[in-house]
Amino acid sequence: MKVNYDREVDAVYIELSQSKPDGVIEVAEGINIDVTSDGKIVGIELLDATRKVSLDSLLTYEISAESIGDWHQRVEEDQPSP
């Protein structure tokens, strides 16, 4: 995941996938979701970002060891057996 902030236009783009989006869904004024043709979310765009979110909290992150363990377990369960 990548988070980009464009100060010139006050926009944040949260890239969730490197896939090319096929369309955009506007969920609220200035909040757009980029999606593929099969409905997967590629990214989220926030226009007038500083009015919608705290950039300090958005541009910092915290990873919980517990959540990583849960994610890793789900990945292993999804792997095919040899």
CA distances from 36 to 17, 30, 58, 63, 66 (A): 10, 20, 24, 27, 31
> Is the pLDDT at 11 greater than 70, yes or no?
yes
Q: Does an H or E element contain 46, and which?
A: strand 41-47
> Is the pLDDT at 81 greater than 70, yes or no?
no
Task: Output the pLDDT for position 79.
Answer: 65
pTM beyond 0.85 = no
* Span 19-77, pLDDT tens digits: 999 999 999 999 999 999 999 999 999 999 999 988 887 777 766 666 666 666 666 77
Which residue has better confidence, 9 or 80?
A: 9
Q: Are 69 and 77 in contact (CB under 8 A)?
A: no
